[in-house]
Structures are given as structure tokens and as C-alpha cells.
Amino acid sequence: MIRLPDPKPDVLAKRDAVIAGLRAAVADDEGVIADRISLKPYETDGLSAYRQMPLAVALPSTTEEVAAIMRFCHANGVRVVPRGAGTSLSGGALPMADAVVVGLMRMNQILDINYPDRCATVQAGVTNIGITNAVSDEGFFYAPDPSSQLACMIGGNVNMNSGGAHCLKYGVTSNNLLGLKIVTVDGEILSIGGEHLDAAGYDWLGLLTGSEGQLALVTEITVRILRSPEGARAMLAGFASNEIAGECVDAIISSGIIPVALEFMDRPAIHACEAFAHAGYPLDAEAMLIIEVEGSVAEQDDLLARLTTICNRYNPVSMRVSQSAEESLAIWKGRKGAFGAIGRISPDYLCMDGVIPTSQLPAVLRRIQEMSDSYGLKVANIFHAGDGNLHPLIMFDANDPDSFHRAETFGADILKLCVEVGGCLTGEHGVGVEKRDLMPFQFAEHELEQQRRIKSAFDPDWLLNPSKVFPLRAPTAVPRAA
Amino acid sequence: MTPTEAEAAIAGQIAAARDPLLIRGAGTKFGMLRPVQAAGMISTAGLTGITLYAPKELIISARAGTPLHEIEAILAAHGQHLIAEPPDLSALLASPPNTQTLGGVVATNLSGPRRVAWGAMRDHVMGVRAVTGRGEVIHSGGRVLKNVTGLDLCKLLTGSHGTLGVMTEITLKVLPAPEAVGTIVIPGLEAEKAVAALSAALGSPYGVSGAAFLPAEAASWLPDRIAPGRSLTLVRIEDFAASVAYRSAKLMAELDLFGAVILDDAASRKLWARVRDVRLLPVMNGEGIWRISVRPSSGPGVLRSVPGAVGYLDWGGGMVWFAGAPTETTHRAIEAAARAAGGTWTLMRAPDALRSAVNVVPPEAAPLAAITRRVKRAMDPRGILNPGRIYSGL
């Protein structure tokens, strides 16, 4: 079990008073949850191996209610864990025994859509896909598309700086934001940015994005919306080895084409997805690429022809260029169902999220296979090949504590390997509690200390999501801003 | 990570400093924001050289003092480019051309016309090494394209004008340079109609990567007079040659652009370099220069609301460049115009007396200003790095 900071005894002791304070801050009687059965769904998130019941849950409906909650919690030294849909794969929304979970799912209103200025202002509890759905009739979309996009909420996306399969062209969350409304730890409501680009002064928008709920609560977000391309089409190509597929990725990037998606799957991932989705994936290939391009039909034809020529130079064991939107969907079907596919083979799996320089892919996959053999756990690899984001899916049995422990150690070894070859611990899932204790592999102590000081500048008493991102240490040693 | 010798030297200089330090790259942007009073100086002039270029990974790293044109040249040789198209403001800021450094461009977060579609400099800074005001060498980010490990100090340092740390090495995401460029030029529109056309173009599926409006006076600075005495509305497309031709034709047909002409590749490149480098405003008589960032549809109103100033619109209407009398009266009109439109302003050039007397960027709300002070102290506890550059007393 992951270690959490010791609960504050005084806060535990005044639980009833805390609940009363929250009820005073939230107008709706059902906006505060205090009984154990109703609290149960909040004890974990997408990293369900870790569980911890919170002190209470508050479900505000307005930014003003969030501010009232924060004023109360701040005045009473109560820790706060922000939560959106609870889809974090790194345990970003894992509660603490003495913490109030502030769930923003009731704040699910689209406040404004401004097509001439190509932006939309929404509350934090709107789902990622909900933004695209709200603007798709006019031909627009919100670009970052994490695979949890049906469920995950934009407030969580901002806090984790979520990515997706199409970041190579469209960027991640931070590249698609214009403004935020935030509530500070002491309950002040602040506007950051607006509907314009590049506000003068320090880039608070950039710093807050990906800050994992540790600097402020985000209640409203102004996102950029983009006009959808005329169309998109995918192709797939299977290769005889990871090395050859990797060389083909290099050749595509070098050709001047920026595919909107460039996904790589290794043999175990191909087999798992094919068995699940019957997408027609090449079972004789060691590695497979899904490449998607955008534009008019003629532009798609031209780009797919160029890509076919490139792929042919690497003797593909199979290649299929979709001729229609339906065929493209079929190609994507297996990839999009990857988590379900792995879930069918193995009841439990860990989805890792390292990043590596793309040139290191073959070597890294070889090392992962060696580790898989030595840990005795199967692994399948899915890779956003354009941007180096590697998702090894480690299969284990949660009923066997030893299997879970080996899976965790295996995962940590993979992430250390990512750092060793010049990459990083996390590309889009965040550090959370999951990778917290690996941070010293990527940062020296004085660098972590510098980041802690920035957190302290926003949250001097470390009340906001304090058990995440930074390795724990004695509470007395937590630095305060000078 | 181990500090390089040069980083250790800068760290030592900062640790030993008792008085404020001016942070200098090539010194081309001292005219921006507020003047800094400092006894000492830290120069990144000696920190030069490209340290990593992996074209197949779309990544380039260079020391902060590397002249930007050296980076642009090596990228061009490999068919790649800087995504944000950073400007060379030397004509505007009366500094020598082609000397600005990578560190200077990142520290000021300056982006060109392509920003409207492809992001700002800050969006492509993947990694930074810097010496803090504590004299410690830190890094944030790395040399990969996706990274959410820890707080994003790359974003914090980008655009911080040397007030939080001295950047020593920067890693940028780069992309393939487009094969061809084309521009649709619509003469004679008034500002509202022009921005409506730009919005329609940017809201089309045709991948517009530049959208500007030049009133007649700004257009008169162009060496090739396209439609003398008339305003010009400019829409750029960059892609493979066949796509540029196809997309220009689609836009012309769909947007009902009466009287529009299409500029070829060479003419387009020349034109957009001028828009990028703000060589469309009077600067000979000591004019003050401001830029205002607003939602694009507010651009035309802002453009009209500063008496005596002349300007033009970039970023689809959202970036307003102004030249006017360098006086508090003009500055107050700029502030009022930006505020009324819910946007922000930056004083880019003015005599020291004016730069010292006014808010060169909007003041922050009190609770945010308190956070700003604490973050500054967290990075630079003795307040010795470029003090007063952005905000008075900070």
C-alpha cells in the first residue's frame, strides 16, 4: 500500500464540525457526503489498486461554493483533494483519511461557445467529449482526446495536462487553453488569461496546467476549439521486427508529413486487440503502425500514397490503406479497444506511461521483454510513435499480492529505463501517487525542493492534494515560501 | 544532473552577488518592458552551440546564447523550422538585426503570425536548464515531446524576462517546414469585415496559418505595393504545393472574397516576414510601440480606440500592434482599450521615463500579485535577477 502522510489528529477529531462547515458552504443538502456507504465510491480512482476513505465529500455547484469550501477548509487546516470523474491512472484523486474530496462533477455546464473567436468556456465537470459534442454541429472539435474522453472531465484534463492519440499535430491540453477561473487555497476567485492568446506577465496558465490539483482548484476553463478537417483516413502496416517498424517511423517523420496520429503496437498488443476486436490486424507481424492523415479526399490519397511508398521500403508483412471512413474506424477499433482487450486476457493490468526518445524504441522494447521474462509477467506495448509516449500494459493477478508487487516493481523498472535513455516518467497520466517515489530518478533533491517552493507559494500550508507528486518526508521538513 | 562549467560559473556569480544583476543575451530586447537598474550583469553570450539535433525526433537543443539564425539555418538545411515563427524585432527595437539569441526569444515568449494556428514559443519549449536566483542549476522538462513529470517550470521560465532564472540551455520541438506558402490578399475591406473574413478562414477546414489585417497606412510600408491606398486582408496557407493550391481555391470560392488575389510562394514569404517582424509601423521619430492581445473579434474596435496611434492586426485580429506618441496619454488609451476588450497589453518600446512610470503589462489582482511575489521569492529570494523588469518593485 502506498504511504500517505499521517492524518492530522485534530482534523479527524472535529469531523462533525468539518461536515457542518461544508454543509454551510454548499447550498444543496445532498452536496455533502458523510456516511460511509455513500463515501465508498470516492475511495479510489482509475488506479484502483490504491484505496483510502476520505473524511467527507463536497459536491459544489458553483465557483462561489468552491470558494466557500476552500475558505472553510483553509481556516480549519483541512486538506482538500480535488476530483473530476475519478479516471486518473496515477492516483491523482486518491483521498486521504483527513481530507475533504471536492468533486466538481456537478459543475457540468457549457457556459459560452464563441465560434468567431474559436473558443468555448465550460465548467470543470464537463466531460472531454462533451465539449466536442457541443460544437460538432458547427463542424468544430476540442483537440486533446485522452482515451478516457467519454468519462474524464476537462477540469481533470487541465490538472493532469492530458494528451491523447492526436497530440503530434494538435498538442496536449496546455496547448489548447486560453483561460481559467481558479479558486485559491484560501478561497479567492481569480481569472487567469481569458479569450485571448498569450496574456502578459508570468504564464500562470502554463504552470497551473498539469499541476495535479496542488496549486489551486480549477472551476472554469476557456478552451480553443478548432474546425474539423474535411476528412481523415487511416492505414495500417505490419513489419517483421520492432526495429524495422521504428525505422519506418523515422522515415515518415523525415519525409515532411505530419500524420495526425502515428500509433505503434507490438506483437502481444496486436494479438490481444485482434482477438478482442477482429479488426483484421496482421497476426504474423512483430510490430504494427496505424497512421492517420487528414484533408480532402485528394489530399488523403496523396498523403497515403506517399506513406505507402515509404512503408514499402521496409518490406511490410502486410499493409492496408483504408478506402473509406468505415474502414478507418475498423482500423482504429482494435487500438481503441486495447484496454478492454488486455482486460480480457488478464483481469488486472497496470497501464504505464513513460516517454522515450523515439530512436530508443527497439532497445527499450528488448529490455522490457527481458524484464517481462524475469518478472514472469506478460506485457503488451502501445506507443504514440510520433511523440515517444510509451504505454506498456503489465498483466498481473490482483488476488495474488506477490503478483501485484512484481507488477509494480516491473513498472517502476520500465519508468527508470525511460529516464535512463533520455526520456521521462510520465507523458500524460501525471505523477500522482503512482510515480511519486520515482521522482528522485528524474530530479535531483534541490530540483524537487525548487518545485516544492513553487507549490508553497500557492499553498503555504500544503493543504491541496499534498500526498501526490513529491516523495513524502517528515512533515516538519516541508519548506515554506520565504 | 551535473552543471556544466559555464553553468557553474553563472551559479557562482549569482550566489556571490550582493546587488541586482542584469540578465543579457544579445541585448536586443532591452527596449521592452521596464528598464532594469543593475550594477552587475550576467551574459549568456558565451553559452553558444547546438547541443543536440535529432531531426527524426523533432527535437533541437541549444545553449541559451546561441544566435537564433544559426538554429534557423540548421533547421532549414534539414527541411524543418521553428513552429512559432519568432520575430526579429530589431527594426522595432533599434537593435542590430540577426543577433538575437535563443534564450532571448524564449525569455520574452515572442511568437510570429503562425502562433494563431500552431502555438506560441512557450508551447514548443520541451526542456530548460536554468540557474535560479539561489545560484542552483535546475532542469525542467527534457528532450522528449510529451512530459508531465512535475511542475512545468518550462512554462514559468518562458516569458519571465530573466526575472526567475537564467536559462542556459533550451530544447524546442520543431516540425517539417511546409513545402509551399500561398497568400490570399483581399484589398479594401474595413476592419470589421476583414476580421470576419479572417475568422471564417481560420474557422475553415483549410489549415490557415496566418491571418492579418493591414489598414492602408500599415500596408503602405510594404515594398511591393499590391493595392495602393487600400487596406489589405491577408490569409496564409502553408503545406505541400498541391494542398496550398487546392486550399486557396476552396477559400476563394467559399468565402466570397471579391477582388482577392493570390500571392505566390516567394512574395508570400517576403510579405509574412514583414508582418512577423513588425516592419509595418512608423518607428523613425521615437514612437512608442505597444501590443494588445484580445479576442479576435475585439481587434477592430481596439484598433480604432487609441487616438493618434496607427496599427495593424495579426493573429486573426487578436494581436493589435500600435505605434503612437510615447506619452502617458497614449499609454492610458492603450490600457483602456485593452481593458474594455478583456485583453492585455505590453509596452514594447518607449523612452525610459515612460517605461518606468506606467504599468508596462496589466497589474494583477491583489491575491494573484501576492502569489507572484511569493513565486519570485521562491525562485530568486534576494530579488537580484532583472529586478523591476516586468513589475515595479519585483
Show me where the domains of chain B are located.
3-176, 180-276, 283-357
Q: Where does A293-429 have alpha helices with state H? A: 297-312, 325-336, 338-345, 361-375, 401-420
B301 interfacial to chain A (CB closer than 8 Å): no
Kindly state whether B153 is in contact with chain A, defined as any CB-CB distance less than 8 angstroms. Answer: yes
- Chain A hits for B364, CB-CB cut-off 8 Å, are 201
- Please, how many CA atoms are within 13 Å of residue A193, restricted to the half-sphere of its CB? 28
What's the rounded Cα separation, in Å, for the pair B63 and B167? 8
CA A90, CA A94: separation in Å to the nearest integer?
A: 9
Indicate which of B7, B128, B151 best probes the interface with A, i.e. most A CBs within 10 Å of its own CB. B151
Contact A18, A64 (CB under 8 A): no
pLDDT grade for A33, boundaries at 50, 70 and 90: very high
| Length of chain A as a residue count | 482
Interface confidence, given as ipTM, is 0.98
Asked if domains B3-176 and B283-357 share a fold, the reply is no
Whether B148 and A431 lie within 8 Å, measured CB to CB: yes
CA A339/CA A348 separation, integer angstroms:
10
Average pLDDT, chain A: 95
Cα distance between residue B243 and residue B350, in whole Å: 43
**Structure-block grid coordinates of residue A462:** 500544503
Q: Are B42 and B14 in contact (CB under 8 A)?
A: yes
**Among the listed residues B271, B234, B276, B283, the one whose alpha carbon sits nearest the alpha carbon of residue B121:** B276
Q: Which grid coordinates are listed for B53?
A: 539535433
| pLDDT single digits (tens) A378-423 | 999 999 998 999 999 999 998 999 999 999 999 999 999 999 999 9
Matching residue, cell 458523510 = A34
Q: Which residues make beta-bridge pairs with A57? A: A33, A101
Contact A472, A435 (CB under 8 A): no
CA separation for the pair B247, A302 (Å, rounded): 14
Interface test with A, best of B144, B360, B368 (most A CBs within 10 A): B144
Each residue of A356-380: pLDDT tens digit? 999 999 999 999 999 999 999 999 9
| Interface-testing mutation among A117, A180, A387, with chain B (most B C-beta atoms within 10 A) | A117
Measured between beta carbons, the chain A residues lying within 8 angstroms of B164 are 202
Q: What is the DSSP letter of B305?
A: S
pLDDT at site A1: 65
Q: What is the dihedral of CA A321, A325, A329, A330, to 10 degrees?
A: -50
Amino acid at B10: I
Q: Which residues of B touch A457 (CB under 8 A)?
A: 371, 374-375, 377-378
- Which pLDDT tens digit goes with each residue over B130-156? 999 999 999 999 999 999 999 999 999
Element (H, E) at A224: strand A217-224
Q: Which of A160, A175, A191 has its CB closest to that of B148?
A: A160
Residue A295 CA to residue B170 CA, distance in Å, equals 33
- Tell me whether residues A447 and B57 touch, CB distance under 8 A: no
| Helix orientation angle between A297-312 and A242-254, rounded to the nearest 10 degrees | 130
Q: Which fold has domain B283-357?
A: Alpha-Beta Plaits (3.30.70)
Residue of A nearest to B383 (CA): A482
- Main-chain dihedrals φ then ψ at residue A37, nearest 5 degrees: -70, -45
What does the block give as the cell for A166? Answer: 492526436
Q: Is-contact A311 A245, C-beta < 8 A?
A: no
Distance from CA of A401 to the nearest CA of B (A): 28
Rounded distance between C-alpha atoms, residue A106 and residue A28, angstroms: 11
**CATH architecture of structural domain B3-176:** 2-Layer Sandwich (3.30)
Nearest CA in chain A to B198: A116
Q: What pairing do the DSSP bridges indicate for beta strands A379-384 and A389-396? A: antiparallel
pLDDT, tens only, B320-362:
999 999 999 999 999 999 999 999 999 999 999 999 999 999 9
Q: How far is B186 from chain A (nearest CA, A)?
A: 19
- CATH code given to domain B180-276: 3.30.70.2190
Residue A454's H or E segment, with its range, is helix A445-458
**Confidence (pLDDT) at A318:** 96
